[in-house]
Structure 1
């Protein structure tokens, strides 16, 4: 039976990408050597790294003055790394608290300076995006998380500040067209929408670096990684390669504009069923609903055993909600086909008939 993988991450990837990646592990580029055993300094892998970075710039329409890095440590390391590079000695940063990941990010920043949480939706279990907040003028940067995987909320409009703007875009990068000139630093773990776990994409405006006035440990210094073309240390060879394949797949599909249209169609199909079916209720505020992570609950939790049996029988995997929210979460990243969304909708409608 075909499996329909709604896992929140590591994410679903295109089948053709998985096949290409599997072949490369056995025999990369006809070298009769595995991708994961060749030197990262070889011309073959340097070409992979250059292609991956070039595809990021092309797909996101990045202007001159922005650099692309493939690093390690996930968004979790970026929580600290971004603060190290951008918060000045005795400095201050502002954070929007919209979920578990932004909470972890501001916790790391507090190790280096003063952190002002200017808005939070914690009091309602992060089921909405705060609005109408004031942004201080005496900050080094403002940090926010564009899409909140656990709670199913997503920024539709971004904060505007004269300070640096930093965005954790781990779970919705490459999913919609954006003007990246509004950001000074963007980072994203690959494992949501770009590739396997193990590499982190960083997009940084070159001119903002080297101004913190602090000594930065080498592995946390963006400038050192830029100077070494993402190879200050041995890079995560396999995740970078699979990310390159996924980005090429996206380009061949028509780029971010094309995938945004498909993502909107997928989300509309599933949200329409949640709103129509009296046995379900959406978790996130309607105006803040994510196109990537659809969170919903049963109107009667006592019926959960029946619904769980139905979706399991349909070959659906990974839709149990996060423990902090409960209910269900369907993660519908770029590679999720609309046919799988329809299978879930059919299961929801079958559930309605059986109850």
Structure 2
């Protein structure tokens, strides 16, 4: 019975995160149709990304102080209502109104993923079981990013972009409510310590993890631009294979123990991530070879993410786990934005494949940071009782 409840909780968290993977592309396409301007659409997508990066840690910290239920329900309601409001806006809506709504949606994006990961040490107290659960969660996250945008674009093409945004908002509210109403989420209690009042970034180990994940984000952003610039019509296929490789890597990591257990092994995964993307430089002109290599390079993504999640158990100050998980997501988003911007500039200056050099270098730098500043196996902290 317990396993059935855990499966339902995990499934609800995945469904609740599926709309999150559609926010950016959904708003981009819809605003372009409303305004007729990709500049306006890009500005709205940028406002969403900035607000999500700022709002995630803030909501995570609020969860660490007040519990999951109220924060998840209220934030999902606001974000879902914001999506539906954008969907109902008429053509010619002033850009400031759309920017304000995008910022509201970003700030209120419910931290379902961070909350799910906070519950994992409670549901799976054993170290091996916990690492496997983090790996499964990382694989599920990849599944949402692989399937979410095509679903949003497909529904938008069939029924209109407004309908796609409305559906995303309704699913977000319903699935988040299902997750938040579960026994595990309702029963989770914040750790009542003085350290819970400090930020997760007060820990040097957390700052190191955040630095590493910024580097991982650069890998993502630079690769997306390099693939788009170098592969032409095949870019969509290659990016899909990249995500599928990550999903496969997450499944394999789940079965093989869940990823790295210390800084040295974590650094090896990061180095493999960097080298795998660096090899794409030589294959960028041959689609078939690039297809094989990008799937292999992607297979390191989910294991790297799972390993970083597992290290939060020992890196974050007691009582700040949800905020810590949110900071990892924010760090990745910051790195992705920076990698995309730098990759675009490099593509203009040195050719489209130069983005792969940046991606590979970022992975290797992250590996150096990990091997020099993370050591030992993570020691789990006492979990809050359910």
The question of a shared fold, defined as TM-score above 0.5 by the shorter chain, is answered with no
Question: TM-score normalized by structure 1?
Answer: 0.31
> Which structure is larger by alpha-carbon Rg, 1 or 2?
1
Greater per-residue helix proportion: 2
